[in-house]
């Protein structure tokens, strides 16, 4: 009995020494920049770093002046000399507002590969610079959307020239010869010819009507007439007619607001940046950034240096992989932002720009269970 026990013990020892030990690999994580050479495997995680895009809303005011048909006679007929003489168009910048938007950076995609479970809590860092949502809109470097205003500039026309007649009838006596036996007899008859009134004559008629409107309104208001209006409608109508007739001499002015929306994306890795958003011509409105005829509207960004202590991590800017297994994210930078029209500052504010900040890494232990 003792001998059989020793044999069994020997067999167990031999079998145990011959058994293959199962090797459990150490958990590891690798993070590589996404490219056409990176092979994705099941369980790989793709994320992107954010970048800031500025949505800039701009309001322009367009003013058009059109002279009246009787501007040349305004001084002589109604005593006004300060009237519009030439047609003109003027553009001015009214207001600028800016909203920073967080969008994906298409040049900063990364792939996380691991042979172990990844800590889910590592991916709730949007405020710290990590964005996993890749369903955002495609990126735009500089795009301008533009509406043409809503004013009806057809109202600048002059359909009523202020006269009840535009032609004068001129009667002349003409003669025709009639053969009577051996003699010719001249028989007179009347001929009516319609002659178009000159601009000066039309201006005189319009000025006369304008003065009559003013006199009639004065008589109503002072009680010199037998008409006593019970409401303001007659006076309002007289005021409207006076304005219409007066515009025949002084001209018309109309303004409307034109809205623009510009998307501007700052360049990565900069500490200071200045760019021309567009140019504004007083006569032609918005022109291209390279057109020298307009006044430049520029945007200037200067980093406040909040991420300067992270300069030691600047080598990650050119990183294509992370051998240590860290998760790459970006700490955004604060910038001083100014928008100018020529030398005039129209907007000053502070904003956060992701692509101006530094890229750093989370340790491997933070990603693994």
184 within domain boundaries: yes
For residue 120, what are the CA distances in angstroms to 125, 134, 366?
11, 18, 10
Structural domain of 215: 167-253
Q: 109-154, pLDDT tens digit by residue?
A: 888 777 666 665 555 544 444 444 333 333 334 555 556 656 666 7
303 within domain boundaries: yes
Last residue of a domain, one of 208, 225, 253: 253
Q: 228-286, pLDDT tens digit by residue?
A: 777 788 888 889 999 999 999 999 998 888 888 889 999 887 888 999 988 998 888 88
142 and 265 in contact (C-beta within 8 Å)? yes
Alpha-carbon gap, residue 351 to 266, rounded angstroms:
12
Same domain, 73 and 183: no
Last residue of a domain, one of 218, 234, 253: 253
Q: What is the DSSP letter of 16?
A: H
140 and 342 in contact (C-beta within 8 Å)? no
246 within domain boundaries: yes
Same domain, 248 and 260: no
Q: 326-365, pLDDT tens digit by residue?
A: 677 888 899 999 999 989 999 999 999 999 988 877 766 6
Same domain, 136 and 258: yes
Alpha-carbon gap, residue 352 to 125, rounded angstroms:
16
Same domain, 131 and 238: no
List the one residue out of 190, 163, 166, 164 whose CA is nearest residue 176. 190
Same domain, 36 and 126: yes
105 within domain boundaries: yes
Alpha-carbon gap, residue 316 to 318, rounded angstroms:
5
Total residue count of the chain as it appears in this document: 369
261 within domain boundaries: yes
128 and 331 in contact (C-beta within 8 Å)? yes
17 within domain boundaries: no
Phi, psi for residue 350 in degrees, rounded to 5 = -115, 145
Same domain, 272 and 147: yes
Last residue of a domain, one of 253, 276, 304: 253
């Amino acid at each position: 009995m003792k001998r059989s026990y020793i044999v069994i013990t020997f067999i167990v020892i031999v079998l145990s020494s011959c058994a293959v030990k199962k090797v459990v690999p150490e958990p590891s994580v690798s993070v590589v920049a996404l490219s056409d050479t990176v092979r994705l495997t099941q369980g790989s995680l793709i994320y992107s770093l954010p970048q800031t895009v500025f949505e800039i809303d701009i309001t322009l005011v367009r003013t058009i002046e059109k002279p009246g048909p009787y501007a040349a006679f305004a001084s002589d007929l109604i005593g006004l000399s300060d009237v519009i003489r030439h047609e003109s168009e003027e553009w001015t910048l009214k207001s600028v507002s800016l909203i920073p938007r967080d969008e994906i950076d298409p040049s900063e995609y990364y792939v996380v590969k691991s042979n172990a479970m990844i800590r889910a809590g590592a991916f709730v860092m949007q405020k710290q610079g990590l964005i996993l949502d890749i369903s955002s809109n495609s990126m735009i470097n500089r795009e301008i959307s533009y509406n043409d205003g809503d004013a009806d500039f057809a109202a600048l026309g002059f359909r009523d020239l202020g006269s009840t007649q535009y032609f004068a009838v001129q009667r002349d006596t003409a003669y025709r010869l009639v053969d009577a036996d051996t003699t010719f007899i001249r028989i007179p008859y009347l001929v009516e010819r319609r002659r178009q009134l000159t601009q000066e004559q039309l201006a005189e008629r319009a000025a006369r009507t304008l003065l009559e409107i003013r006199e009639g309104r004065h008589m109503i208001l002072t009680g010199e007439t037998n008409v006593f209006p019970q409401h303001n409608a007659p006076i309002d109508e007289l005021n409207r007619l006076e304005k219409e007739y007066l515009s025949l001499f002084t001209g018309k002015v109309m303004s409307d607001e034109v809205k623009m929306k510009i998307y501007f994306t700052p360049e990565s890795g900069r500490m200071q940046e200045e760019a021309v958003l567009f140019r504004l011509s007083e006569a032609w409105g918005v022109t291209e950034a390279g057109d020298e005829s307009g006044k430049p509207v520029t945007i200037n960004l200067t980093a406040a240096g909040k991420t300067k202590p992270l300069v030691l991590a600047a080598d990650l800017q050119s990183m294509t992989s992370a051998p240590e297994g860290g998760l790459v994210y970006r700490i955004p930078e604060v910038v001083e932002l100014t928008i100018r029209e020529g030398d005039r500052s129209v907007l000053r504010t502070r904003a956060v720009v992701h692509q101006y900040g530094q890229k750093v890494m989370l340790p491997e232990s933070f990603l693994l269970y």
